[in-house]
Amino acid sequence: MQIRKNDSVIVIGGKERGKTGKVLRVMPDKDAMIIERLNMVKRHTKPRGPQQPGGIVEKEAAIHASNIMILCDKCNAPVRVGHKVLADGKKIRICRRCNEALD
pLDDT value at residue 54: 93
C-alpha dihedral sign at 74, 3, 70, 7 = negative
Q: How confident is the model at residue 1 (pLDDT cuts 50, 70, 90)?
A: confident
Decide: 39 and 92 in contact? Cβ < 8 Å.
Answer: no
Buried-exposed string 13-33: b where 16+ CB fall within 10 A, e elsewhere = eeebeeeebebeebeeeeebb
pLDDT value at residue 103: 81
Give 38-68 pLDDT, tens digit per residue: 999 999 999 999 999 999 999 999 999 999 9
Strand partners, 64: 32
Once rounded to an integer, what is the mean pLDDT over residues 10-35?
A: 97
The architecture in CATH of the region 1-46+55-71 reads: Roll (2.30)
- The residues near 49 (Cβ < 8 Å, ≥ 6 apart) are none
Once rounded to an integer, what is the mean pLDDT over residues 96-103?
A: 92
Q: Range(s) for CATH 2.30.30.30 in the chain?
A: 1-46+55-71
Compute φ and ψ for 74, nearest 5 degrees.
Answer: -75, -50
Name the pTM for this structure: 0.89
